[in-house]
Structure 1
Amino acid sequence: MVERLFEPLCRIEQTMGVNEKNWPRRHFTLDQVDFLNRSPRYPEWRKAVADIFARLDPLLEDEITRAGHSRLVVVIAPAELPVGPDRMWLRIRQHGKRVPLEAPEDVADYLPLLLTGASRKGAAGSIAAKYAAKGDAYDAWAVEANASLVGGAEHVVALSYERLRDYRARLMSEVRHIVETQEVRGPRQLSAKLKDLKIRASEGDVSRDLVLAEFARAILLSGNGTLLVNNTFVEWSTVQAVRRARPSVAIVSFGIRNKIKPFSSLLIYADQDTTNPIPTQMDTLGTYVDLEIFYQYIWQEFEKYAEYRRNTAYLFVGEGMDELLAIAPPDFPLLAATKPAKLAEVFASMKDWMNL
């Protein structure tokens, strides 16, 4: 069975000249990428690989789904957005149910009640912290633009754009120095130098974990704006966490981004507050537009993977709003609500869903 499955691929690789010298087992580097790109049979090779996975993926996904467990994703929008719940989650609302909420009198208690079931003074552990107490590494994540969600809860992977401020500043400075003063012949040489720009202990708690330290470095140096834009960092970190770790609980919290200033390809690695004379301004409308797209991106990214299908509750929340959007299986407790739910009741539904 296995031999028949891989026979077309092996036959093509023989004609391409693949051997132990140019393609050692368990190695796939830029050398192999170059080898493939130079081969006139590369399109055939790609098709053979795709055919293999087309047969394997359905079998693997069915097995993963059967062995699945309840999962939870909470996506939080900032309170300063210039719209109400009637203009929120427009791209995905048809997939879920808008659930009315009874918002607390003190807006400052909104997120604590939602995520911990208690007010700020109650100082209770968050839903992510409670799940992380089970002890599984990298299975509960909190990714945020600000620095207020989880604190130092053990086993929760906490990534904060704000808390990485010093690391981001050093990265911007050192990358600009590399580009401006050193001879970098191509992407391989630049990639090698960037790998040396590791986070220091004084620049963030993720430095204590080698895996997370490398994760943070890769996210910030991906070149797509994660160094400059808080919500781009949050979105891309979440997407990569899903791809690499498949967390069972994820809390994703966006902030208000600043208005984008004109910059060149080099200045993508520069501190916009110091290099651009244009005053920094918050962009609430631009943030709203961005987030409407990010909600869809994040939901679709989770749903790509069999681990999340048919067993994940997604709660899209706007801080301070009297509605949330729930995309969840029919047996998620909150979907049965017949009157506005208190935030502590939303927390209880999440807790029951995760068997905590």
Structure 2
Amino acid sequence: MPGQPEVSPLLQALIDKGIFDRLPVSFSTFFFEQVKEWELLFPAEKNYFERLFGLIDRSDPKAVQELFAPLRGVERKMGVNEKVWPKRQFTLDQVDFLNRSAHYPEWRNVIANIFSQIDPLLDAETAKAGHSRLVIIVSPAELPVGPDRMWTRLKDKGKMVSLDLAEGDDVRDYLPQLLTGGRRNDGSKTLVELYAESKAKSLYDTWLIEANDALSTLVRRSSGLVQLSYDNLEVYRTRLMAEVRKILETEDVRGPRQLGAKLKQLRMVSKDIGSDPLLAEFVRSVLLSGNGTLLINNTFVEWATVQAVRRARPSLAVIHFGIRNKIKPFSSLLIYTDQKSSNPIPDQMDSLGSYVDLEVFNYYLWQEFEKHAEYRLNTVYLFVGVGMDEILVIGPPDHSLAASGGRIKLTEIYDQTKKWMNLV
């Protein structure tokens, strides 16, 4: 069939059986559009589509008909037909059609109701295949507060654990002790390297996302793990901003949706993001779809993490925020402009503003992880402030840190997280 995507044999078999043609067109075409670029989907996304349509296919036909009957009714009210909505097509024309319809709110509610019935079934499947997961979210040493003022929105979710820090310890060894069990000069492998080498479910199961290079400098071998650094992407970000400004200045862009479509066609190859086309597209999308991700390091870290969770479902993720610069005044167009070269105001680090941001970002990230069945009840979260003598631990009650009493060394936390991830 013309325009048919190359997908997995399992999904192809469902397509051949006519699974998409049996469903309301506003539902089926959206997902058909999603799988068109199968090679640019993460394994977790591919698995979701296979399970979603596999569930629909094997369910009782009468139950499926009843589930989608309200959507068919709304489509009739909206005037959905072959002319305005061809099969296997979900473009800006269809988006505009939905948005202009007086029945759009009803359509959204019906779609939400469909997934309120489907998602619990898919989540139950996911829970059966659950395994230990670890998320470490690091705040920088330069924040102007102590642990008593950190993670205030999250403290009732977990337990503050006191650290046994040796007097005179070099703060530069804080993260190495937590992530390698030794000091920086020891050159030991990090948790992420050990997991990527022996336990990772795919090449996209282990992630490092950071504002600077504090994590990257600890990693000896990057094979099998995803590393994203805002600072290390500076050349790529500058080129990307230049390309976007060129589009805005030379082409007729009518509005945000049209700009979004243009940006989706923007493909740039760069050694800064490696040769993996999936990760290259992921980075491009994060930088262009997030509000401020091109300009603000911590906004990039937060949005990249959210997208990694939604799309890749990593089993082990280490996220490191930094100190952002004070925000300079800019117009909507200048959001695609390098602020260093376009604004005469010198850069100034904003430690207080960063603290305020991170109080929100830390909470948002925990919420995002917990939205997904993969992370509920089997994930240990460590909220860490570099140099601080307390960390916040959120996790299942059977995790050893949840029951720890007294002070504990960073190297002991390393040992316990290593055990939690079955690396011993």
CA distances 1:152-202 after superposition (whole Å, capped 9, x unpaired): 421111110011000111122222232233332334543344235434333
CA 1:306/1:207 → structure 2, altered by over 3 Å: closer, same or farther?
same
Structure 1 residue 323: deviation in Å? Answer: 0.7
Match of 2:346 in 1: 279
Instruction: Provide the C-alpha distance between the structure 2 equivalents of 1:298 and 1:40, rounded to a whole number of angstroms.
Output: 35
Q: State whether residues 74 and 316 of structure 1, in contact with CA within 8 Å, keep that contact through their aligned partners in structure 2.
A: yes
Structure 1 residue 344: deviation in Å? Answer: 1.1
User: Would you identify which runs of 4 or more consecutive aligned residues in structure 1 move more than 4 Å?
Assistant: none
Give the residue type in structure 2 aligned to 1:254: F
Match of 2:15 in 1: none
Match of 1:170 in 2: 239
Match of 1:128 in 2: 192
Instruction: Provide the C-alpha distance between the structure 2 equivalents of 1:273 and 1:131, rounded to a whole number of angstroms.
Output: 38
Match of 2:32 in 1: none
Q: Larger relative contact order (C-alpha < 8 A, sep ≥ 6)?
A: 1
Q: If the length of structure 1 is used for normalisation, what is the TM-score?
A: 0.93
Structure 1 residue 59: deviation in Å? Answer: 2.4
> Which segment drifts farther, 11-20 or 252-261?
11-20
> Which segment drifts farther, 150-159 or 207-216?
150-159
Structure 1 residue 261: deviation in Å? Answer: 1.1
Match of 2:118 in 1: 56
Structure 1 residue 11: deviation in Å? Answer: 3.1
CA 1:312/1:26 → structure 2, altered by over 3 Å: closer, same or farther?
farther
SS for the counterpart of 2:289 is coil
Match of 1:311 in 2: 378
Structure 1 residue 15: deviation in Å? Answer: 4.3
Match of 1:138 in 2: 204
CA 1:245/1:221 → structure 2, altered by over 3 Å: closer, same or farther?
same
Give the residue type in structure 2 aligned to 1:331: D
Q: State whether residues 199 and 207 of structure 1, in contact with CA within 8 Å, keep that contact through their aligned partners in structure 2.
A: no
Aligned: 1:155 with 2:155: no
Q: If the length of structure 2 is used for normalisation, what is the TM-score?
A: 0.79
Q: State whether residues 77 and 318 of structure 1, in contact with CA within 8 Å, keep that contact through their aligned partners in structure 2.
A: yes
Instruction: Provide the C-alpha distance between the structure 2 equivalents of 1:157 and 1:20, rounded to a whole number of angstroms.
Output: 43
CA distances 1:203-247 after superposition (whole Å, capped 9, x unpaired): x1x331111101111111125111111000000100111111111
Fraction of identical pairs, as percent: 61
Match of 1:115 in 2: 179
Structure 1 residue 299: deviation in Å? Answer: 0.5
SS for the counterpart of 2:323 is coil
SS for the counterpart of 2:382 is strand
SS for the counterpart of 1:164 is helix
Give the residue type in structure 2 aligned to 1:36: L
SS for the counterpart of 2:274 is helix
Instruction: Provide the C-alpha distance between the structure 1 equivalents of 2:394 and 2:95, rounded to a whole number of angstroms.
Output: 40
Give the residue type in structure 2 aligned to 1:237: A
SS for the counterpart of 1:258 is coil
Instruction: Provide the C-alpha distance between the structure 2 equivalents of 1:166 and 1:347, rounded to a whole number of angstroms.
Output: 34
Match of 1:34 in 2: 96
Q: State whether residues 103 and 110 of structure 1, in contact with CA within 8 Å, keep that contact through their aligned partners in structure 2.
A: no
Instruction: Provide the C-alpha distance between the structure 1 equivalents of 2:264 and 2:113, rounded to a whole number of angstroms.
Output: 34
Instruction: Provide the C-alpha distance between the structure 2 equivalents of 1:336 and 1:43, rounded to a whole number of angstroms.
Output: 48
The one of 65, 71, 76 equivalent to 2:133 is 71
Match of 2:105 in 1: 43
Instruction: Provide the C-alpha distance between the structure 2 equivalents of 1:26 and 1:243, rounded to a whole number of angstroms.
Output: 25
SS for the counterpart of 1:90 is coil
Match of 1:215 in 2: 282
SS for the counterpart of 1:221 is helix
Give the residue type in structure 2 aligned to 1:114: L
Instruction: Provide the C-alpha distance between the structure 2 equivalents of 1:278 and 1:354, rounded to a whole number of angstroms.
Output: 47
The one of 321, 328, 331 equivalent to 1:254 is 321
Stretches of structure 1 lacking an aligned partner (at least 5 in a row): none
Aligned Cα root-mean-square deviation (Å): 1.8
Instruction: Provide the C-alpha distance between the structure 2 equivalents of 1:286 and 1:64, rounded to a whole number of angstroms.
Output: 39
Instruction: Provide the C-alpha distance between the structure 1 equivalents of 2:215 and 2:65, rounded to a whole number of angstroms.
Output: 51
Q: State whether residues 77 and 255 of structure 1, in contact with CA within 8 Å, keep that contact through their aligned partners in structure 2.
A: yes
> Which segment drifts farther, 229-238 or 147-156?
147-156
SS for the counterpart of 1:72 is strand
The one of 139, 142, 152 equivalent to 1:80 is 142
SS for the counterpart of 1:44 is helix
